[in-house]
């Protein structure tokens, strides 16, 4: 049986693969207990909760720019998993493309411009977007 | 005030020790550190919010005590009624005064809850559960006497006939951590603060002094990426940062530095530090598997 389908990490993403506790009420993915959002009453995964609320934490304009004063660091933030995943969602939306080390082929994270190793990647010469070595996961 | 005092009383002896010593140094898992410091942070937030109010109430009770004394002394209220009233008001004044002094003594630098805690919470996501991080955190005020490095001679500036600049150096946060992918991150933050005490004479001839602040924050981050997982190449920085790349046999170290300038003594945005670490990962790409295409 497949493990938790969420991805952990911030600067680089990796598969969780912990035993599934339940499925997310929004995306239907199998989720472990650690990746269930307490703020949603444990009905959503942290990613779905972050996508629903992350932009409230971190105001990102349509052009991807983030205002000078980052609203995500509210003075009363608990800095728990809900906060961290909300911040991660906002940070990725503002243009950061994390590297993904994993094997899940889920399309859930397609909105994040992740970089991962691709089998046909053999050109060491460049780092530009669209390089064969940087497949969108 | 009730909430603030309840939050203070709810702290464990270890958390109260952090408040008293205003320093934290050692090896902690991010989970343990957040669990230790979250209640301290909440108390500090409540304390910051309530101190002004408590100070105002203290002043109100003192003024009322004086008014009551005058009224009683003039025979408007009999001493039998006035004396206990005055004593009660003075008691309330003293209680509020002592409370505000007590809370001020355990006030922590806001850098702690607006930069250090969110940064640890983000770094935790990239660490293996139970993996400790090294941490040195100074929670004393950025303009504490021990951090003063000097002051300028008095000079005049516009309407201010006397300006004296006080200089402080606050090296308040450094640490290192191993991440789940085998990388390591170390960071050091030093802030150079200038407190400009400016005195002028207003239209009514009164001398007024106010403080203005400017701060240059030096952020330095080292990210060491293992060749097994990453290959590192040259790239234009996406943020205003200096980047040095030091390749070695098994790992490449990226040394990143940036300055954040602000015209206040308030904490800067933690995003500046997160972006600096992210800048190292932007330059990395996943290494080809052993025996693979690369």
Structure confidence by residue, pLDDT tens digits, B63-85: 999 999 999 988 888 888 888 99
Q: A129 CB near a chain B CB, below 8 Å?
A: no
Nearest CA in chain A to B225: A12
**Is residue B271's pLDDT more than 90?**
yes
Q: Identify the pLDDT of residue A77.
A: 72
Per residue in B138-180, pLDDT (tens digit) is 999 999 999 999 999 999 998 999 999 999 999 999 999 999 9
Per residue in B228-260, pLDDT (tens digit) is 888 887 777 778 889 999 988 899 999 999 999
Q: Identify the pLDDT of residue B6.
A: 87
Which of A79, A116, A126 minimises the CB distance to B286? A116
**Helix B117-125 with A81-93: angle, nearest 10 deg:** 80
Q: Do B293 and A66 touch (CB under 8 A)?
A: no
pTM flag (> 0.95):
no
Q: Do B288 and A122 touch (CB under 8 A)?
A: yes
Residues A23-55, buried b or exposed e (16+ Cβ, 10 A)? ebebbebbbbeebbbebbeeebbbbbbbbbbbe
φ/ψ (deg, to 5) at B85: -65, -45
Q: Do B285 and A134 touch (CB under 8 A)?
A: yes
Q: Do B283 and A11 touch (CB under 8 A)?
A: no
**Is residue A120's pLDDT more than 70?**
no
Per residue in B15-53, pLDDT (tens digit) is 999 998 999 999 999 999 999 999 998 898 888 888 888
Q: Identify the pLDDT of residue A104.
A: 77
Per residue in B129-148, pLDDT (tens digit) is 899 999 999 999 999 999 99
Q: Look at B194 and B288; give whichever has higher pLDDT.
A: B194
Question: What own/partner pairs with CB < 8 Å and gap ≥ 24 does A115-120 have?
Answer: A115/B285, A115/B286, A116/B286, A117/B286, A117/B287, A117/B288, A117/B289, A119/B292, A119/B293, A120/B293
Q: Identify the pLDDT of residue A122.
A: 39
Sign of CA dihedral B97, B99, B105, B111: negative
Closest by CA to A124, choosing from B180, B288, B45, is B288
Say how many CA atoms lie within 13 Å of B231 toward its Cβ: 18
**Is residue A27's pLDDT more than 70?**
yes
Cβ(B162)–Cβ(B201) below 8 Å: no
Cβ(B272)–Cβ(B254) below 8 Å: no
Closest by CA to A98, choosing from A125, A136, A64, A132, is A136
Token pair 């800067």 is at which residue?
B268
How is residue B283 written in tokens?
A: 């330059």
**Is residue A131's pLDDT more than 70?**
no
**Is residue A114's pLDDT more than 80?**
no
């Amino acid at each position: 049986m497949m493990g938790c389908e969420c991805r952990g990490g911030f600067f680089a993403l990796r598969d969780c693969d912990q035993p599934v506790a339940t499925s997310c009420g929004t995306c239907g993915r199998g989720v472990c207990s650690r990746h269930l959002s307490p703020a949603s009453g444990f009905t959503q995964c942290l990613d779905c909760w972050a996508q629903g609320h992350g932009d409230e934490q971190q105001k990102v304009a349509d052009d991807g720019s983030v205002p000078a004063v980052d609203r995500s660091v509210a003075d009363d933030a608990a800095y728990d998993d809900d906060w961290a995943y909300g911040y991660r969602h906002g940070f990725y939306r503002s243009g950061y493309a994390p590297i993904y080390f994993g094997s899940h082929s889920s399309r859930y994270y397609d909105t994040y411009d992740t970089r991962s190793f691709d089998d046909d990647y053999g050109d060491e010469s460049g780092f530009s977007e669209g390089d064969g070595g940087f497949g969108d996961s | 005030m009730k909430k603030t005092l309840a939050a203070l009383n709810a702290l464990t002896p270890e958390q109260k020790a952090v408040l008293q010593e205003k320093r934290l140094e050692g090896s902690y898992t991010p989970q343990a550190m957040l669990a230790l410091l979250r209640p301290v942070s909440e108390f500090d937030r409540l304390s910051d919010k309530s101190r002004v109010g408590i100070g105002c109430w203290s002043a109100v009770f003192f003024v009322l005590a004086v008014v009551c004394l005058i009224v009683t002394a003039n025979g408007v209220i009999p001493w039998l009624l006035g004396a206990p009233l005055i004593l009660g008001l003075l008691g309330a004044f003293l209680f509020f005064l002592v409370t505000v002094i007590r809370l001020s003594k355990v006030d922590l630098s806001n850098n702690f809850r607006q930069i250090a805690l969110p940064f640890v919470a983000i770094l935790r996501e990239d660490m293996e559960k139970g993996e400790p991080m090294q941490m040195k955190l100074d929670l004393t005020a950025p303009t504490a006497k021990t951090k003063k490095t000097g002051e300028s001679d008095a000079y005049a500036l516009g309407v201010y006939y006397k300006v004296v600049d006080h200089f402080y150096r606050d090296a308040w946060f450094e640490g290192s951590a191993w991440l789940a992918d085998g990388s390591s991150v170390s960071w050091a933050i030093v802030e150079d603060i200038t407190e400009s005490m400016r005195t002028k004479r207003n239209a009514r001839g009164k001398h007024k002094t106010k403080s203005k602040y400017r701060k240059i924050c030096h952020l330095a981050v080292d990210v060491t990426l293992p060749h097994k997982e990453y290959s590192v190449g040259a790239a234009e920085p996406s943020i205003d940062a200096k980047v040095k790349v030091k390749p070695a046999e098994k790992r490449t170290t990226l040394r990143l530095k940036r300055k954040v300038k602000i015209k206040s003594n308030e904490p800067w945005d933690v995003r500046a530090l997160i972006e600096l670490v992210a800048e190292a990962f932007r330059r990395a790409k996943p290494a080809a598997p052993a025996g693979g295409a690369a």
